[in-house]
Structure 1
Amino acid sequence: MTTWLKIGGSFVFSFFLLTSLDAAEIPFTILFTGDLHSSFEARPNTFQLGGMARLKTAFEKLKSDAKEKGFPVLQLDAGDCTEGSLFFNLGAGVASFEMLNRLGYQAVAVGNHDWYTGPTVLDKVLTRVPLNFSFLSANFNFRFLPEDNHLSEKIKRYEVFYLVDGEFLRKGDKGFTPQEGQKYFKVGVFGLSTNEAAYQFFFDPVRIQNPISEARKVVLQLRRTEKVDVVIALTHLLDEDDISIADNVTSIDLILGGHSHNKVIPDGEHRPVTIQRTEDDPLHDTTWLAKTGEFGSFMGHLDIVFDSIQNKMLWGKSQYELHPIDASYEENQEMKTQIDGYKQQLIKKYTSGDDEINLFSDAIAETEIELIKSGVTESFLGNFVVDAIYEKSKPLGVNFSFNNSEFLSHGLERGPISRSGIYNMLPLIYDPLKDTSWTIWTLDMDGATLKKAIDLVFMLGKFFDTAGLEVIYNPDSYPQKVVSIRYQGQEILDDRIYHVSATQGIVEALKLIKEELPGLSNMQDTHLELWTVLQDYFKSHSPIRADSKETARVTGRIRTTQPDLAILSENIVVKPLQDNLNKLEMTTLVQNLGYGDLLEEELPRAKTDPTELLFYYDTTPHNPVDDVDLFKPQTDLFSKRFRNWSPVLEEPPKNLMLIDKLLVPSLGKDQKISLSLKWDVSSLRQTAFPYTVYLLLKRASGTGFIVVPSLLEEDRNDRKLMKVDESNIYNNKAKTIVYLNQPNPQRRPLK
């Protein structure tokens, strides 16, 4: 039986010091990150967080603070530290591992993006760059590697850190050798890597074993053989796997996780997610679980206290914090110089002939709207990318195209767009043997196979982007969710062969389930890099606007049979009211993208019920830690228990304040309405940081026509007018940023 401790409370921005330690109590500090993805420089984000030159300064400052308190420090990372930006392409991770050495990590988990180059390349890279830290994964089986591959010597199951003269050392560090008979305070750190089937083939012939069973084995070894006092798991797993390990593997004190790119927000008592088990050993019945998000935007900070007499963690005296890596941390000049050197190498690598465009600083396009990544519903960015694929592959005889925005790394902010910015936005995959990132592929499939493939996507709770098709599905139907697929206005034919283009990730996924889809054939690599294709497409469509007549606008390419009210971030317009910068007018568009299968005669009778549109603003603009991520999928596992892990707008956290709510009238299929409100911001604190405004459209219900089997004739279905609820709620949320006292409140002021 598991007891879930209540997690809640408001965020407190300062991190107060631990006090009143007894002589037998051993304090220590853990500083950690995860999912860095070679983010040498900050990724696009409102607060301009991140960058390894700042991260280095933050590590040095917090280590110095810990030293002043007498706290020894462990510096750790939860994996995916290498592949994922243009910088990785320098030696297939050589530059990335060099930077990790410079940052001073002591142990790092192996993430899936750290092995995508395969065991042969990774082995060579780690030979070229000897690591100053322990590279950890306890669930790899190396037995099938050839004899000349030495990864099994370079990736360890675990590491033991000994507390010696106020610092943590491994055997061999600074000539340290544990003395027999001497008692040391010891921390055991082990790694776990995701064993999802979609990633395993990259690392063949290495076998990736079940992380839970391997966790049990390594914890026993650490506790019984190594006799460590504290056990830390560095995990690169699904969120639900982290929960399962914390729940079912005894004697793990801390889980520091990555892979999902989620962050765990400290609660009001400075704790992360806390899981307490009911078990026979009261000394090890609690696990803390923390995550720092992505791209080095935040650093996790744990101050831990261990009771050496009772041999247990003192959770009441331990604390957790997330530090935004913002401009308050000056860039470390040595790191900045190193990064500038890498940039010059990349400029040389990717500049040819008369091309004088600087890869990093020169804009090739501009967007007047924020291009937001959403892997769970139709979006402007998703449409834009798949339209680029479709336009480029049409001359190859392609009928329609597919992509998946979930593969994208992130979106793009308003403003200029560089070539490197486009690359870093794309899927975090690079093939060093071909020196290419993901390419566009073509393939053939019959109509029946297409329907089955799309059914599988919806059954798995996933989404996709398409150009050239109109898809209607019923989320409440099982197993066949597809209602209609139209190409050029006509229903597709089961026995017709269609020529399709898709990104490499889609094709690799289809290869894994090819036995389920026998109608797939003729998979061909066009050798067109998505990065290059998108550069040309951004150039030719710049500047990018919400009201552009290009097809990227969200119009319901993929519709549900239920009502589907939508609000989109790109349609939010904020402007001063009558030249009064203290009063703003916010306008947005609400549209009904649902009712996909209605017949012409049914249109007048199918409408949504009136609902409400709520406007909130974040009262802590200076604090990015507590921001809500609108577009990450929520699961029942996290919806109630871990609100500090994944706060949702449907249950707004305490830092959000309601501005106003507006009535949304009944809307039929494709009907839309413009709504606006006036917001007096004169009482808001003036700050250099923007205020984030969130919009929430309450879930709609209404009337619609549902297909039901006929009671009179077995072969006939009837359509009945019934009460129906909205199923797609991911497009019911939107956001924008507001800079006070600006003529254009949605645009970052020029410095």
Structure 2
Amino acid sequence: MPPATGLSRRVGRLNCVLPDLRGLDRHRRNDPGGCDHINPRTLFVGGNDMKRLVTLVSVASFLFVASVCGDTLTVLHLNDTHAHLLPYGPKDAEGVGMFGGMARVATLIGMNKMSEPNVLLLHAGDISVGDFMFQKYLSIPELEIMKQLGYDAFTLGNHEFDLYPSTLKYELSTAGFPGSGFPVLCANLDYSADPEMGVFIKPYVIKEFGGTKVGIFGLTTDFANSGSNPQPDVILPPLSVAQAWIDTLRVGHGCNVVILLSHLGTPTDQAVAASTAGLDVIVGGHTHTQLDQPITIGNTLIVQAGEFGHYVGKLHLFVDGGVITGHDFQLMTVDNNVPAEPTTAGMLAMLAAGVEADTLFGPVFSHPVAQAAIDLDKDFGQGLVMDNPMGNMIADAFRQATATDIVFQPQGFINQQIWAGPQVGDDIFQTVPYGFDQTTRLGFKLATFETDGMSIIAGLEFSVYNLPYLEDFFMQVSNFTYAYNSSAAPGSRVDYGSITIGGSPLNPFGTYTVTVPDGVVPFLTQIPGFSVNNLTITDQFMYTVVRDFMAAHSPVAYYRQGKVLDLAAITDPMAGVEALVQMVSMDQLNGSITKAKVAEILTRDFGIVAKHIEGGRDVAAGAKLHGTAQYVKAQMRLGLIGDMAGQTLLYVMNRVAGSLAPANHMAQEPSPSSESALIPAVFELAQNFPNPFNPSTAINFTLPSAMPVSLEIYNVLGQRVKTLVDATMAAGSHVAQWDGTDQYGGAVSTGVYFYRLVAGDQTATKKMMLLK
């Protein structure tokens, strides 16, 4: 591979130039240090390893190409590299990350270009944000490397707009675009208010390989309009323009093959494929999806190559007579088995040394600051438990720093996991890299504010509204629990009775202090009815808070804790019991159940419940759940089950008991002869029925024992409308009717109302709607 001479010429300049991000005043700042902090030899391998890789790539390519005839098109592709220029992930004995690294990527691309026919090299967007390299140099080094590797096209990702179009234009012009660059695509970008952007951005590019004419157009997610900062530019809805661009390329320009270079995410890619004609391939990005084989929708292939340069996708298309007649696909792993291209590795070492020489950063690549005892994953949960170790650790770190009642940390603000072993500053920054403070070059700060319980309910409904299609706003939490049902109608997914703060039920009319990243605040203020009071932007950065928390708690070990539950996983009583068994294992692993014998007894008891259910003995199953609930409470009092874990187990047991037959939601009191069999095992407030309603609705609730009960109706302003029950009631199932009138008998207006049940020391709240 030829030396990266263009990149070499610019390294010195990059070490001392960065723009004002809004005004683009190209001020310069002296670089106080040299390039002696990083040893280039730790970043690459050469000699026999390189020869071995050349041989393997060449043989594999020969075997494939020899098996076909006609034109073979080879599409190499990456996406969502997020400034991960250096290797990352778990470290080898020399402290070098085992995954990714642009010097290793350069080797794979170079070898494939030498051995494969008709290579197209594509990037599906988001080279920006994610590493200290970006905080120091922006995306200029990655653009330079991409030029040297001979990219054929690059689609803008949403994060390319995070620092405004002015910064994007600066990056491109500094890297020699458009003159010496490659095509930068976005066919759904309206830059009519920003004509200069049209110098750099094009809708499509056409490539010819022998008798095959290939049209490539780019689309960017319109989520960027609210989730990033493209203004004054506007990103148009991709589905509204896709077919027109396909027709432009296939009909207008006579392209045999049409490729969408997409930064839309896999679900939207599938929607585009299903709603268009004439589209052959979608090379995707945005959702960081690792597709081991293409998704096929009609005649369209969809591919995506994970994240951070850990994989390079390779798609062979066999074209005969202008028609694709076959394909072959593989994800090529980029790890420490791939030798680094020496010139690129050397340039990256110089850039890394420039970061470390900057007093704003220091030795963030070379000096360990914390230890992780285990891998802390950030994967969105599956099944019942939806919190994750990274979310729990970050949220707890924030709360330790601010001492608020609650922390909300959006899933989309967690970029990467932590792997077991020593952690340098860059490892930690890669987990929370979003935002850009021009003074410190760090990311978002922490913000604190006050809000009320009703706002929290509205915020939670907003956070789960678009699941499973959009996870970015899903809330990881500290000192807080909640449950929702992703299969329920959006807007009515959260079980308000599940919400606890510090172990106490949410008071819809109480006031709470909250911590979030300051980048979250603009989203909260857009939620109808969400109140943000006494907002303070602290001087504490996400990165430094997490770094210091990990250092203070090393070696760090965090687990799933059951703070957030998706009730869609409890499809029937048996599924609920299986989930309870899994929760016991989880709680034993995370230390919430401190004695193995307790976990053994719970697992045995839930096995007995399962056998009762299988045998159709639901009354016996309910009775066993009641007894097990008493055991859980006793172990909580002894400190052998943590309070949060115990409350969560009781909550799920309550859900399972409520799903057993005979139903616990009875419209009348049981007869004396059957009362003992039908007394419910646990407290529950049911959803009113019908809902929405007019003119009246029934509210069912169950009590495990006699106790004082209050059932009240509130409006969305938190004003009490009517008290339905205020008495001591017996154990069993009860029903209250509300006829849509207030305390004085006057009819209330159409709208959303809340009903709140207080029974002894237990509280539950649910929402209903009156439609006239």
- Measured against the shorter chain, the TM-score band is 0.5 to 0.7
Q: Contact between 2:99 and 2:335, CA under 8 Å: does it hold in 1?
A: yes
- Matched to 1:443, the amino acid is F
Q: Higher relative contact order at CA 8 Å, sep ≥6: structure 1 or structure 2?
A: 1
- Matched to 1:466, the amino acid is V
CA distance in 1, matches of 2:611, 2:82: 45
CA distance in 2, matches of 1:459, 1:237: 19
- Matched to 2:495, the amino acid is K
- Matched to 1:506, the amino acid is V
Aligned with residue 667 of structure 2, among 711, 729, 736? 711
CA distance in 2, matches of 1:559, 1:129: 47
Alpha-carbon spacing, 1:588–1:252, altered in 2? closer, same or farther (3 Å) = farther
1:100 is paired with a residue of what secondary structure? helix
CA distance in 2, matches of 1:360, 1:468: 33
Q: Contact between 1:608 and 1:703, CA under 8 Å: does it hold in 2?
A: no
Q: Deviations over 1:675-695 (max 9, x none)?
A: xxxxxxxxxxxxxxxxxxxxx
1:346 alignment counterpart: 355
- Matched to 1:540, the amino acid is A
- Which stretch shifts more, 72-81 or 196-205? 196-205
Q: Contact between 1:572 and 1:588, CA under 8 Å: does it hold in 2?
A: no
- Which stretch shifts more, 460-469 or 384-393? 460-469
| Deviation of 1:715 (Å) | 6.4
| Deviation of 1:530 (Å) | 0.3
Aligned with residue 543 of structure 2, among 527, 531, 534? 531
1:220 alignment counterpart: 247
Q: Contact between 2:405 and 2:514, CA under 8 Å: does it hold in 1?
A: yes
1:65 alignment counterpart: 115
Residue 129 of structure 1 pairs with residue 175 of structure 2:
yes
| Deviation of 1:400 (Å) | 2.0
Q: What pairs with 1:250-329 in structure 2 (closer than 5 Å)? A: 250-266=277-293, 272-276=294-298, 286-308=299-321, 311-315=322-326, 318-329=327-338
| Deviation of 1:472 (Å) | 5.1
How many percent of aligned residue pairs carry the same amino acid?
23
1:27 alignment counterpart: 72
Q: What pairs with 1:453-532 in structure 2 (closer than 5 Å)? A: 453-461=459-467, 463-471=474-482, 479=492, 480-513=494-527, 516-532=528-544
Q: Contact between 2:484 and 2:566, CA under 8 Å: does it hold in 1?
A: yes
Residue 407 of structure 1 pairs with residue 404 of structure 2:
no
| Deviation of 1:432 (Å) | 5.1
For this pair of structures, how many residues does the alignment match?
A: 548
1:686 alignment counterpart: none
2:114 is paired with a residue of what secondary structure? helix
CA distance in 1, matches of 2:395, 2:111: 44
CA distance in 1, matches of 2:464, 2:499: 14
CA distance in 1, matches of 2:596, 2:252: 63
| Deviation of 1:485 (Å) | 3.0
TM value normalised by structure 1: 0.66
Aligned with residue 188 of structure 1, among 205, 215, 218? 215
Q: Deviations over 1:396-418 (max 9, x none)?
A: xx322211234212211111011
CA distance in 2, matches of 1:254, 1:475: 31
1:83 alignment counterpart: 129
Q: Deviations over 1:464-494 (max 9, x none)?
A: 2222334355667661522143334443333
1:425 is paired with a residue of what secondary structure? coil
Q: Contact between 1:198 and 1:512, CA under 8 Å: does it hold in 2?
A: no
CA distance in 1, matches of 2:164, 2:700: 53
| Deviation of 1:503 (Å) | 1.6
| Deviation of 1:255 (Å) | 0.9
Q: Over aligned residues, Cα RMSD in angstroms?
A: 3.7
Q: What pairs with 1:609-648 in structure 2 (closer than 5 Å)? A: 609=610
- Matched to 1:392, the amino acid is A
TM value normalised by structure 2: 0.64
CA distance in 2, matches of 1:303, 1:249: 23
Q: Contact between 2:456 and 2:530, CA under 8 Å: does it hold in 1?
A: no
Residue 365 of structure 1 pairs with residue 370 of structure 2:
yes
Alpha-carbon spacing, 1:445–1:52, altered in 2? closer, same or farther (3 Å) = same
| Deviation of 1:701 (Å) | 12
| Deviation of 1:328 (Å) | 3.2
CA distance in 2, matches of 1:65, 1:522: 62
Alpha-carbon spacing, 1:133–1:300, altered in 2? closer, same or farther (3 Å) = same
Residue 106 of structure 1 pairs with residue 152 of structure 2:
yes
CA distance in 1, matches of 2:537, 2:218: 36
Q: Counting strand residues as a fraction of each chain, which structure ranks higher?
A: 1
CA distance in 1, matches of 2:360, 2:230: 32
2:189 alignment counterpart: 140
Alpha-carbon spacing, 1:559–1:158, altered in 2? closer, same or farther (3 Å) = closer
CA distance in 1, matches of 2:484, 2:296: 39
Q: Deviations over 1:510-559 (max 9, x none)?
A: 1332xx124233433213210011111111111224xxxxxx55544345
| Deviation of 1:21 (Å) | 4.9
Q: Contact between 1:117 and 1:432, CA under 8 Å: does it hold in 2?
A: no
1:739 alignment counterpart: none
CA distance in 2, matches of 1:560, 1:307: 49
| Deviation of 1:128 (Å) | 1.1
- Matched to 2:500, the amino acid is R
CA distance in 2, matches of 1:454, 1:369: 30
CA distance in 2, matches of 1:720, 1:473: 23
Aligned with residue 44 of structure 1, among 65, 82, 89? 89
Alpha-carbon spacing, 1:374–1:668, altered in 2? closer, same or farther (3 Å) = farther
Residue 240 of structure 1 pairs with residue 267 of structure 2:
yes
CA distance in 2, matches of 1:99, 1:535: 30
- Matched to 2:365, the amino acid is F
Q: Deviations over 1:179-225 (max 9, x none)?
A: xxxxx642111101011267455111211112122111111111232
| Deviation of 1:343 (Å) | 0.7
Q: Contact between 1:374 and 1:382, CA under 8 Å: does it hold in 2?
A: no
| Deviation of 1:160 (Å) | 1.2
| Deviation of 1:708 (Å) | 6.4
Q: Contact between 2:215 and 2:249, CA under 8 Å: does it hold in 1?
A: yes
| Deviation of 1:155 (Å) | 0.9
CA distance in 1, matches of 2:518, 2:220: 23
| Deviation of 1:430 (Å) | 3.4
Q: Contact between 1:572 and 1:589, CA under 8 Å: does it hold in 2?
A: no
CA distance in 2, matches of 1:247, 1:348: 51
Alpha-carbon spacing, 1:358–1:700, altered in 2? closer, same or farther (3 Å) = same
- Matched to 1:49, the amino acid is F
1:333 alignment counterpart: 342
Gaps of 5+ in 1: 1-12, 167-183, 267-271, 277-285, 546-551, 574-586, 595-603, 612-664, 673-698, 723-751
CA distance in 2, matches of 1:228, 1:485: 56
CA distance in 2, matches of 1:715, 1:249: 48
Q: Contact between 2:224 and 2:235, CA under 8 Å: does it hold in 1?
A: no
Q: Contact between 1:35 and 1:293, CA under 8 Å: does it hold in 2?
A: yes
Q: Deviations over 1:699-751 (max 9, x none)?
A: 999942369665249765232899xxxxxxxxxxxxxxxxxxxxxxxxxxxxx
CA distance in 1, matches of 2:556, 2:519: 26
